[in-house]
Every structure is written in structure tokens, then in C-alpha cells.
């Protein structure tokens, strides 16, 4: 069995994706965007990602009321 004695090649990582844009006139999206930015500002990337996921998954009406 051959033992590796040198370093392996570099790891290539992508930049994190941009935060999602909140929908206009949506108070929930605006609050989540604010929470996400505050989390990023304090270095809490886990909470920032959670807020981003909530914005992406937040349902919006595509049709008017019946």
C-alpha cells in the first residue's frame, strides 16, 4: 500500500449565493430579509441561511382572490 507524503491539490469552493430578493409589498419577506442581513452582520451564517430558505419557500399569491 502506497502512503501519500505530499499535499493533495487545492479544494475549489464556490462563493456563497446572493441572498434572495424579498417580494415587493410582502411584510413577511421584508422581515426575513432584515433578519438574514442582521445575522450576516453578526457572523451567524447559519441563521442567515435559514432566513434565505424561508424567503425562497414563502408562498406568494399568483392570482387574485376569488
* Mean pLDDT, the chain cut into blocks of 10 residues (66 residues total): 81 88 93 96 96 92 60
Domain encompassing residue 51: 27-57
How many domains does the structure of the chain reveal? 1
pLDDT of res. 62: 63
Classify residue 66 by its DSSP letter: -
pLDDT of res. 6: 84
pLDDT of res. 65: 57
| Full-model pTM | 0.69
Judge whether 3 lies within some domain: no
Closest Cα to residue 36, out of 21, 48, 18, 45?
48
Closest Cα to residue 47, out of 35, 55, 57, 58?
35
Judge whether 15 lies within some domain: no
Amino acid at each position: 500500500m502506497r502512503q501519500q507524503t505530499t499535499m493533495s491539490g487545492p479544494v475549489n469552493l464556490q462563493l456563497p449565493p446572493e441572498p434572495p430578493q424579498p417580494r415587493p409589498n410582502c411584510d413577511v419577506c421584508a422581515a426575513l430579509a432584515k433578519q438574514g442581513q442582521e445575522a450576516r452582520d453578526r457572523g451567524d451564517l447559519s441563521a442567515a441561511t435559514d432566513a434565505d430558505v424561508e424567503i425562497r419557500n414563502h408562498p406568494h399569491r399568483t392570482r387574485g382572490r376569488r
